[in-house]
Amino acid sequence: MKFACCKLTTSSSGEIITCTKCRQNYHDQCLFATDNKKELKKHWKCPECSLLLPRQTNNDNIPIRSSGVINKSNENINLKTGGSSFSRIHVDTSCEEAENENNLFFCHIGIIKLEENEFKSALVPLKDELISIRQDFNCIKESLDFFNSKFDSLILRIEKCEKELNQHSEKLSEFEEVPASEFGNQHDHQGESGFGQQAATAQPGQGTALVKYQPVAGTDVLVKSGNSQSISIRHHCISCMKEYEGKSLEELRLEDYTAGRKGSNGVFGFQQTENKSLFNAP
């Protein structure tokens, strides 16, 4: 009988254990088995067959430690077939350690992927918020650009208005520097006054009821229908009437009409053949 555990062909002592998968024989003492129950022998697999099985299905009770009892008569039972030197059988656990490390590695990889997925799912609402903030920022930027353009346009308009105002102020100061007497004398030789231009001196016409011109306050004679009547008058020359500076021409004409100083054709005071006034009023 051949044994897979050593080069012996017989079993001098102990029992024989047969692998249920490869059907190879092993010495009980070579395996250092401490449990010789029949239940174990029914399902026992050798170490080589056990390494081929997946880890989760490896539930057998393979002994890996020595029982501490070795007989001198069986000192060569742990020799392998064809071996020339003595060596003890050591159960190789490097495969199990590698498998455990591999399982631990895949477990870590799974945890890392799970954490990565949770982190990505948590970043989705944050990404949406950042997109919304970017859109709001773009709207604010466009509004600021619009206000800046309007502000620049307003500054240009203000500068233009200030420039025109300065020009008008300079012209006004030039007019204020000219004396009033010089302004009046400038138009006297042309028959002009400060308020109008007369092409001809007002003269009472024949058969009319015009009040004769008198440039000072006092009395005057009203000729009406050939009858003379003395009336009290005020200044008829508008340019000389200081007390009438706040009154309009219509008010002065109404006063002349009330006092009876009216002539034909609805002309009040005195007749004007042509009047070019600064107020554009006859």
Instruction: Look at strands 25-27 and 16-18 and give their pairing.
Output: antiparallel
Q: Is residue 233 part of a domain?
A: yes
**How many Cβ atoms sit within 10 Å of the Cβ of residue 119?**
9
Q: Is residue 209 part of a domain?
A: yes
Same domain, 79 and 40: yes
Same domain, 241 and 206: yes
The total of structural domains in the chain comes to: 3
pTM: 0.25
Taken in order 151, 155, 156, 161, is the CA torsion positive or negative? Answer: positive
End-of-domain residue from the set 90, 116, 133:
90
Same domain, 2 and 51: yes
Same domain, 99 and 83: no
Same domain, 107 and 127: yes
Same domain, 47 and 71: yes
Same domain, 112 and 85: no
Give, as one character, the DSSP assignment of residue 218.
Answer: E
How far is the CA of 257 from the CAs of 40, 239, 262, 266, 277, in angstroms? Answer: 150, 19, 6, 9, 21
Same domain, 24 and 106: no
Q: Give pLDDT tens digits along the chain (282 positions).
A: 777 777 676 766 557 778 878 878 877 777 655 555 666 677 777 877 877 776 655 555 555 554 444 444 444 444 444 444 434 444 455 677 777 787 888 888 888 988 988 988 888 888 889 999 999 999 999 999 999 999 999 999 999 999 999 888 888 887 777 665 555 555 454 444 444 444 444 444 443 344 444 445 566 677 777 787 777 665 444 444 555 566 777 777 777 777 766 544 444 444 444 444 444 444
End-of-domain residue from the set 124, 142, 177:
177
Taken in order 134, 135, 140, 145, is the CA torsion positive or negative? Answer: positive
CA distance 240 to 193: 10
pLDDT on residue 11 = 64
Q: Is residue 271 part of a domain?
A: no
Q: Is residue 187 part of a domain?
A: no
Q: Considering only CA atoms, give the Rg of the chain.
A: 68
Q: Is residue 192 part of a domain?
A: no
Same domain, 207 and 241: yes
271 backbone dihedrals φ, ψ, rounded to 5°: -80, 135
pLDDT on residue 169 = 87
Q: Is residue 50 part of a domain?
A: yes
End-of-domain residue from the set 74, 90, 106:
90
Q: Is residue 183 part of a domain?
A: no
pLDDT on residue 144 = 92
Same domain, 124 and 139: yes
Structural domain range at position 221: 202-266
Same domain, 82 and 108: no
Same domain, 68 and 138: no
* Residue 74, domain CATH: 3.30.40
Q: Is residue 254 part of a domain?
A: yes
